[in-house]
Structure 1
């Protein structure tokens, strides 16, 4: 699908198409050649970069990227902000860690720049695309949409490369994971506690799904506040556990 204009009116069409009605969702597959090419490229690179016994990771990359870019989930993000947030968290907490493993970026990235830079970059990218001006820009056709997807994915891969790298100290990994939880929690609080809808694009798209715009926005905040943050909390707990388990004979931790 490509961005365009609706009936000659100066209104951009989002890349995933106009907001569908519930009866139209299951037929709203995105067969844009560029999206198909991205899925094929990610899958082939994953398959070529992994040993045969880890081909399941390439299969997972194919399944997740298809879900995000080809399936009706893409069209549903145009209707519901809560689905857009869910889409982004699948991108950042499922696809990004998979690709981090595939491309073996952990040691390469973590050794070049201060790890805090990954957190700062990811935070800026995440907030930009989830505040009204940035969000409105992302709905202006194909190019803004792919800039958003690429920015979120690249920044998430960088952050996960730091969090998962054995070269990152336990203290740094846990601190960055918890800082990510904190900054996302702040945005989630704004979305959940706001008394008015913040995103004009969804003022007329949610009612067909039984949600008022404010309810949809609050649901997005709850999703962000709960399941969206779980992967970062889990990796913080795992790194902390491994840090405790790696104590040397003197009882000190390998921080």
Structure 2
């Protein structure tokens, strides 16, 4: 590979330096502060909003941002936290609502997640700051739409959609895990200092999608199921 990949989070760090690689982009910090002020003034669930914004700070300010330049597995962690942890916390904390049906948002988000983890679009996303933020904004925006629409959906329908999301995430993870060749060009030269071949790093990322990421949607489905059954359990025998 004759190209040096320098995505938004910077050149891939070495293990000896990555903990010092904080990102103090003033635009990102200002955006998080403004979002925090907005959440505070709305008077919504401030705890959830604070946790969601803290998750965004972890993703875009902490050394995890730089680590995702080196390892595909770290990038997967980044995207899972963005879409399945930060997004629902922000929806709850800010009281967000979304236009359109939940099935539309589920399909749009799943499609975007698959697209951005295909080799070509993934490489494009790490080729410039503009492409990087296009990826992040579309993933977060579609995730916010999905989780916001899910809030107003009947529990039985929500459970079904969450289980579908779990299955599609697991399927994508399995396809990546069992690929026989490294597919992600930005990481072909960045994984060796971390003790992984590009294929091993790719397999780690696939396994993260396959198990922990899928488990987040399963957990959300179980929570909705528990909520659906709670009134019946509360009735006298």
Find the aligned partners of 1:36 and 1:91 in 2 and give their Cα distance: 16
When residues 55 and 116 of structure 1 are mapped into structure 2, their CA distance, relative to the original with a 3 A threshold, is closer
In the alignment, is the contact (CA less than 8 A) between 2:103 and 2:161 conserved in 1?
Answer: yes
The residue number in structure 1 matching 2:107 is 120
**Residue among 9, 22, 29 paired with 1:16:** 9
Tell me, yes or no, if structure 1 residue 191 matches structure 2 residue 176. yes
Alignment of 1:234-253 (within 5 A): 234-247=219-232
Structure 2 alignment gaps of length 5 or more: none
Tell me, yes or no, if structure 1 residue 35 matches structure 2 residue 28. yes
The residue number in structure 1 matching 2:217 is 232
The residue number in structure 2 matching 1:251 is none
**Offset of residue 247 of structure 1:** 4.9
Higher helix share: 2
TM-score, with length taken from structure 2: 0.91
The residue number in structure 2 matching 1:252 is none
**Offset of residue 128 of structure 1:** 1.1
Find the aligned partners of 1:27 and 1:151 in 2 and give their Cα distance: 29
**Offset of residue 68 of structure 1:** 0.7
Tell me, yes or no, if structure 1 residue 66 matches structure 2 residue 57. yes
The residue number in structure 2 matching 1:4 is none
Tell me, yes or no, if structure 1 residue 79 matches structure 2 residue 70. yes
Query: What is the CA RMSD across the aligned residues, in angstroms?
Result: 1.9
The residue number in structure 2 matching 1:209 is 194
C-alpha deviations, 1:183-240, integer Å up to 9, x for none? 1111101111111111111111001001111111111111111111222111111222
Alignment of 1:125-204 (within 5 A): 125-163=112-150, 165=151, 167-204=152-189
In the alignment, is the contact (CA less than 8 A) between 2:162 and 2:217 conserved in 1?
Answer: yes
**Offset of residue 122 of structure 1:** 0.3
TM-score, with length taken from structure 1: 0.85
When residues 214 and 237 of structure 1 are mapped into structure 2, their CA distance, relative to the original with a 3 A threshold, is same
Q: Secondary structure at the match of 2:76?
A: helix
In the alignment, is the contact (CA less than 8 A) between 1:22 and 1:209 conserved in 2?
Answer: yes
Q: Secondary structure at the match of 2:212?
A: coil
**Offset of residue 162 of structure 1:** 2.6
Tell me, yes or no, if structure 1 residue 221 matches structure 2 residue 206. yes
In the alignment, is the contact (CA less than 8 A) between 2:73 and 2:201 conserved in 1?
Answer: yes
How many pairs were matched up? 232
Point out 4+ residue stretches in structure 1 off by more than 6 angstroms: none
Tell me, yes or no, if structure 1 residue 46 matches structure 2 residue 65. no
The residue number in structure 2 matching 1:97 is 88
In the alignment, is the contact (CA less than 8 A) between 1:43 and 1:61 conserved in 2?
Answer: no
